């Protein structure tokens, strides 16, 4: 996928390129700015973050990559970015190269459209949230450390982001490589001895401990909080939860408002995560949590997990009391072989959508110390 287009990569910055960049950047970063200085600032920030001017139209990308209008528009939508009119100079040298690169990947790996769509959406979804998360972290820091109001803090951060982009991009690649190494390492350990015919196609592929930790009465506890207090409360819960899950050998799949979904590779690590979450209350405001977890098969897709065991864990969480961990009888039977845990059968409960069950309360066994 090469091109003789003279505007590819090596083309110099033309005055019209910079004018187009200024206009588009002003729309992106300062849509309500009413003076030339604000537009110039927006254009400069946009140029520095993107690493070059918006010099190409959609038609230019088609010519330069050999890809169809439809596929390029799909790629842009999969990233979660707005699709521009064919005549708008919106795209950079990096956009051109990224399209060529993903096209080469699709060809060499024989990726069909669903696989390609999933790959691109995973990047778009993750980086959209990451960029917002990081900017907000800098805004909060500027407000605290410099005593700025919210608007002033945001304007201050906009000025500094171009200087931070390189470091953040490098840190992102480093973290991604470490996470990819961790995933491949787990898969090698889990599947190294398996044969291609071992899997039952009627069963979900992965055995995992899966559970939820839910803040008790979240709405009531946060009803009177201002934006800063609410942010601190949510961050405290998520930070505690992630620390506990990681230290106990599990992984956070996602946070959903007032709840955390976690997984672990074996039932005992799942139990340690669940018990750790139910009792995690270091110095600071008390955040009562209830937990449900089960051992079962799951399907891993889109960075999430699915399956009956996920639904069961959620319903057990709903049935748990503050500070309590509930498991299903099958998971309790697996944990019952260990002297580390105390398991107490609970009264029969109606679990929404799943019917009745006698949950089992999980606690640490009394050590006598």
Enumerate the domain spans of the chain: 1-110, 132-188, 206-364
Taking the CA atoms of 32, 38, 40 and 44 in sequence, report the sign of the dihedral they define.
Answer: negative
Dihedrals phi, psi of 163, to nearest 5 degrees: -75, -20
C-alpha span between 271 and 25 (Å, rounded): 50
| pLDDT reported for residue 303 | 79
> Packing angle between helix 113-146 and helix 150-191, nearest 10 degrees?
140
| pLDDT reported for residue 240 | 86
* Residue 354: HSE in the Cβ half-sphere, 13 Å Cα cutoff: 22
C-alpha span between 84 and 308 (Å, rounded): 42
pLDDT digits (tens, 9 = 90+) for 298-343: 988 877 888 999 999 999 999 999 889 999 999 999 999 999 999 9
> Packing angle between helix 58-65 and helix 93-108, nearest 10 degrees?
40
Which residues are within 8 A (CB) of 116 and not within 5 positions of it... i.e. 6 or more apart? Answer: 102, 106
| pLDDT reported for residue 191 | 67
Which residues are within 8 A (CB) of 110 and not within 5 positions of it... i.e. 6 or more apart? Answer: none
Question: Which residues does the chain have with pLDDT short of 50?
Answer: 1-33, 282-284
Dihedrals phi, psi of 307, to nearest 5 degrees: 140, 165
Yes or no: domain 206-364 corresponds to CATH 3.30.70.1230: yes
| pTM (predicted TM-score) | 0.64
How many residues in the chain?
369
pLDDT digits (tens, 9 = 90+) for 257-307: 788 999 999 999 999 999 999 886 644 457 788 999 999 999 888 778 889
| pLDDT reported for residue 173 | 95
């Amino acid at each position: 996928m090469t091109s003789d287009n003279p505007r590819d990569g090596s083309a110099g910055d033309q005055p019209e390129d910079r004018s187009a960049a200024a206009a588009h950047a002003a729309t992106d970063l300062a849509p309500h700015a009413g003076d030339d200085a604000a537009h110039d600032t927006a254009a400069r920030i946009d140029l520095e973050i993107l690493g070059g001017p918006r010099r190409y139209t959609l038609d230019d990308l088609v010519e330069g990559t050999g890809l169809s209008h439809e596929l390029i528009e799909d790629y842009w939508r999969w990233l979660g970015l707005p699709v521009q009119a064919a005549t708008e100079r919106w795209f950079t040298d990096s956009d051109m190269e990224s399209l060529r690169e993903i096209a080469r990947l699709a060809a060499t790996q024989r990726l069909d459209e669903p696989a390609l769509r999933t790959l691109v959406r995973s990047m778009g979804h993750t980086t959209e949230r990451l960029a917002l998360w990081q900017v907000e972290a800098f805004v909060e820091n500027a407000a605290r450390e410099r005593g700025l109001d919210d608007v002033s803090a945001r304007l201050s951060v906009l000025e500094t982001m171009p200087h931070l982009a390189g470091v953040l991009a490098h840190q992102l690649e480093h973290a991604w490589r470490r996470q990819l190494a961790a995933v491949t390492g787990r898969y090698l350990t889990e599947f190294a001895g398996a044969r291609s015919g071992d899997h039952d196609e009627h069963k979900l592929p992965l055995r995992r401990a899966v559970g939820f930790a839910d803040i008790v009465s979240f709405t009531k506890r946060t009803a009177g909080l201002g934006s800063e207090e609410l942010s601190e409360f949510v961050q405290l819960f998520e930070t505690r939860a992630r620390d506990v899950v990681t230290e106990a050998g599990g992984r956070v799949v996602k946070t959903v408002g007032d709840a955390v979904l976690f997984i672990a590779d074996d039932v005992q690590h799942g139990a340690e995560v669940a018990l750790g979450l139910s009792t995690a209350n270091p110095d600071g405001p008390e955040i009562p949590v209830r937990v449900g977890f089960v051992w079962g098969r799951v399907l891993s897709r889109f960075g999430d997990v699915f399956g009956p065991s996920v639904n069961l864990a959620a319903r057990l969480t709903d049935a748990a009391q503050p500070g309590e961990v509930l498991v299903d009888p099958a998971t309790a039977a697996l944990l019952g072989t260990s002297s580390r845990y105390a398991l107490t059968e609970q009264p029969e409960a109606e679990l929404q959508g799943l019917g009745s069950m006698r949950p089992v309360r999980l606690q640490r066994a009394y050590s006598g110390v």
